[in-house]
Amino acid sequence: MPDFTARVLKFVSEPDYRPVTLKAMSRRLDVGPDQYAEFRGTVKRLVKEAKLEIARDKTLRQPDRTGLIVGVFRRSPEGFGFVRPHASPAGPRLDQIYISPEAASDASTGDEVAVKVTKRSRRPGMNFEGRIVQIIARAAGLFVGTYFEEGSAGLVRIDGTSFHEPIYVGDPGAKGARPGDKVAIEMVRYPTPYLEGEGVITEILGQRGTPGVDTLTIIRAFNIPETFDEIVLEEAREQARGFDENEIGDREDLRDVLTVTIDPATARDFDDAISLSRNEKGFWSLGVHIADVSHFVRAGSALDKSARNRGTSVYLPDRVIPMLPEILSNSLASLQAHRTRFTVSALLEFNAEGILTAKRFTRSAIRVDHRFSYEEAMAVMKAPGAEHTDLAPKVATMLGQMLELAMILRRRRFTRGALELNLPEIEIELDPQGAVVGAHLALHDESHQVIEEFMLAANEAVASTLSAQDILFLRRAHAAPEPFKLDEFAEFARSLGFPIEQAQSRFELQKVLAQAAGRPEEYAVHYGLLRSLKQANYTPEPQEHYALASEDYCHFTSPIRRYPDLQVHRQLIAWLDGRRPSNRHDELVVLGEHCTRTERRAESAERELIRVKLLTYLEGRIGESFHAVIVRVEDFGLFCRLVELPVEGLVHVTSLADDYYYREEGTHTLVGRRSGHRHRLGDRKIVRIAHVDVDRRILDLILVDSLTEPTNLPRRSDDREARPHRAVGPRANSSEDRSPQAKSEPTGPRPVPKRPARETRKGKPEARTRPEPRSRKRRKKR
């Protein structure tokens, strides 16, 4: 920053500052005549950046911060954007605040900003307008793009649609960059409507299209730590040298208890193991044994600081970036079969009806007797009494009992009001170079539900215990939807023929989901409800988990890959040892916010890389047709998710040449003015690939006459078990793109826009993620 910037901002922030004019300020700061032009330019820039404002009497002051709304900004390629407030909005028009280009300052997508509402629209469906007065925190200072040269300048076109103009990075050939290279740059000056952006190249990632470069660009773009410092690795090695599995100390010895693990076939880090028995009275004794990561990762150590900074493991389609060094995550802490491993065990007792009657927790040592993949476990659960190769009858019997108890717990959970959205999930398949070669439906059968129910039971048991002891811990919270959102969903459901009397009743929502099951409207109902839900987060505040209908809930079962679980382990172990756990509320608030951000960063990185790989695949399939489902309806068009591949694209309203369409607000439908044709949320369509721009993450589609079945549709495979489990695609709400409503209505046929604009003044927020999204590695964990 120029010298005058810091001096001016410090001057106006002094407690005894009284607003003065520009010339008076220059005298107070001893600005010389030869410096005045630079000083005046600095002040003008600070005014444009909303860091200063000019009063009616021409005096300079800091902007008024009263009545500001804090949220996250998302900019369109045209310069305008929207801010989504952090706090619960007062109504749908504050759900997103429109920011014009002139009012956006130099904010970029993802920045946390303070907004002052400048216009309160009274027209239905129109957003309030605002002005960014402060950038509280930058989303990133590092960006990734494609290098090119123009005249005597080196330029980088940033990936995505956040920056409409390229960023200047100096003379041609800076750092040895060649046209077409993917590069990482650090932003020196963010672009504004008045000034171009400027940056410096920090790393050359490789030529666009080279295997592995797409993954590296996402890792850099999301600022994901890829390697461990040597001090962290050495600490992990020291833990390995000092570990003796035969010395279990004062741990409870559970090595003779029959124990199994059930995980994806490709898993290497095993967090959890299960034991189960049933007595003559019909009572169940369930053991959920979780890797004792806290034994190896001491609070405040280099390992701990590294894990805390990462927050979570990141599961990308072609690699895993672990939270802990692999010597721990894939070896010492991992619950490998036939090896003694240290665990924290939740020992739960249920009666025949699935009611929890007793619980206790202990630091233990176990030895896993058998490792199952989900597919192997399901085969045994279906026929526990049959003969299974290399499997003891008692193990098969236990798996059959696990299925029985899990279904009892599952029924009880839904009886208390838990919600479950059954949306199709697609897994992509990659070749050795990381390119997409196919996709298949993800399997989520009863074997997944068994582990899911047992993890939920353990998480709730730990949370309720810590809560009863008045011990602060990181809860996994999921706030109830805003009433107006549920009212909107109720109106939409009624339009589909599903009456809802009380939109706030979770049992009414359950009823609608059940009624829609197997019907053509099923997708529409599930996507409609998904848009009403909020995202889950980590917090020490005593909040419920709405989707699970749980008053006390936390994450306890995956400490190898999630830092919040490790924090919960430490609190529980301190209590078990008779020590008073740390109860620093302010520290837990900060930690919860950090872990929420790192979790969402990991999910966004996974979605983004899958989108890049799929768009690269679709570049060679222009003109081909696919089945699709409408997942979002806006004034400017239809967002459709392909059925065969987990990627979203836009059918722009200008490509619907048969009529002029308007959005029917309450029913999430585009309606033809003359014909009455309707395109509704959840409708199944056939679309054709019209245009792909991988770098800008754009996929444009056009509708095919649904009465004519195309002949080149990809075959949908049902051979689920024969295909490799490579990567899970993003959920149906992954798209972050927007487009504006058409400004005019041409009289002739409407062309398909090659690169439609992506935002609209009248935009609505993107669909929310699932309350508890399943990761690629652990779809079982909630």
Whose tokens are 């003694």? That residue is 340
Average confidence score pLDDT of the chain:
85
Average pLDDT over residues 585-594: 88
Specify the length of the chain in residues: 782
pLDDT band at residue 623 under the 50/70/90 scheme: very high
Nearest residue to 318 via CA among 643, 725, 731, 781: 725
| pLDDT, tens digit (0-9, with 9 covering 90-100), for 592-601 | 989 999 999 9
Average pLDDT over residues 361-377: 96
SS3 287: strand
| pLDDT, tens digit (0-9, with 9 covering 90-100), for 676-703 | 999 998 899 999 999 999 999 999 999 9
What pLDDT, on a 0 to 100 scale, did the predictor assign at position 4?
A: 81
- Better pLDDT: 768 or 453: 453
Which contiguous run of DSSP H or E holds residue 238? Answer: helix 230-242
| pLDDT, tens digit (0-9, with 9 covering 90-100), for 516-567 | 988 888 888 988 898 899 999 999 999 999 999 999 999 999 999 999 999 9
Instruction: Give one word for 440, left, alpha or beta, with left for phi > 0 and alpha for psi -120 to 50.
Output: beta
CA distances from 296 to 254, 341, 546 (A): 20, 12, 34
Taking 60 as the threshold, does the pLDDT of residue 500 lie above it?
yes
pLDDT band at residue 718 under the 50/70/90 scheme: very low
| From 158-162, 658-662, 731-735, 756-760, the region with the lowest mean pLDDT | 731-735
Average pLDDT over residues 338-351: 97
pLDDT band at residue 771 under the 50/70/90 scheme: very low
Rounded CA gap, 102 and 106, in Å?
10
pLDDT band at residue 93 under the 50/70/90 scheme: low
Whose tokens are 């770098």? That residue is 695
What pLDDT, on a 0 to 100 scale, did the predictor assign at position 92?
A: 52
> Which range has highest mean pLDDT (186-195, 227-236, 477-486, 640-649)?
227-236
Average pLDDT over residues 63-73: 80
What pLDDT, on a 0 to 100 scale, did the predictor assign at position 754?
A: 37
pLDDT band at residue 3 under the 50/70/90 scheme: low
| From 118-132, 292-306, 636-650, 669-683, the region with the lowest mean pLDDT | 118-132
Rounded CA gap, 617 and 619, in Å?
6
Give the gyration radius of the chain's Cα atoms.
28
Q: Find the farthest-apart pair of alpha carbons in the chain and give their distance in angstroms, rounded.
A: 96
Rounded CA gap, 700 and 755, in Å?
8
Structure-token pair, residue 17: 């500052």
DSSP 425-461: -EEEEE-TTS-EEEEEEPP--HHHHHHHHHHHHHHHH
Average pLDDT over residues 116-129: 78
- Better pLDDT: 19 or 769: 19
Nearest residue to 262 via CA among 459, 460, 393, 454: 454
Please, what is the end-to-end C-alpha distance for the chain in angstroms?
A: 45
Average pLDDT over residues 437-461: 93
What pLDDT, on a 0 to 100 scale, did the predictor assign at position 87?
A: 66
What pLDDT, on a 0 to 100 scale, did the predictor assign at position 781?
A: 40
- Better pLDDT: 123 or 220: 220
Average pLDDT over residues 57-76: 83
Taking 80 as the threshold, does the pLDDT of residue 365 lie above it?
yes
| pLDDT, tens digit (0-9, with 9 covering 90-100), for 411-423 | 999 999 999 887 7
| pLDDT, tens digit (0-9, with 9 covering 90-100), for 18-49 | 899 999 999 989 898 888 998 998 898 888 76
Amino acid at 117: V
What pLDDT, on a 0 to 100 scale, did the predictor assign at position 157?
A: 94
Average pLDDT over residues 707-722: 38
| pLDDT, tens digit (0-9, with 9 covering 90-100), for 601-615 | 999 999 999 999 999
10 Å Cβ neighbour count for 222? 19
